[in-house]
Amino acid sequence: MNNTESKLRKEIVRIGQLMYQKGFLSASNGNISARLGSDRYLITPSGLHKGLLKLDDLLLVDGNGGAERANRLYAAPTWGTQPTSSR
């Protein structure tokens, strides 16, 4: 993990905590994502409490939605990387 990715992970975790504290989302609703380079993205897994995120909870995916790095709990092929609204 490079320095940019590490900083972005910390910022996403901080934003998840703030959004939960301010009432902009309730626990596991919504997702937070950020672009990391031209074809890589950090995203929060669906169903995870955004106010309690940890750095390792975030998924690193490529532009095709394939997981480059994921916590083993969220890397199951059945989850895919579709928005929850399209399931």
Tell me which of 22 and 71 has the higher pLDDT: 22
Q: Residue 82's pLDDT is what?
A: 53
Model pLDDT for residues 10-60, shown as the tens digit of each residue: 999 999 999 999 999 887 888 899 999 888 999 998 888 999 999 999 999
Angle at 87 between CA 47 and CA 79, to 5 degrees: 55
Q: What's the topology of domain 3-77?
A: L-fuculose-1-phosphate Aldolase (3.40.225)
Cα–Cα distance, 15 to 1 (Å, whole number)? 20
Tell me which of 48 and 80 has the higher pLDDT: 48
Question: What is each CA distance from 31 to 2, 3, 59, 78, in whole angstroms?
Answer: 23, 23, 11, 18
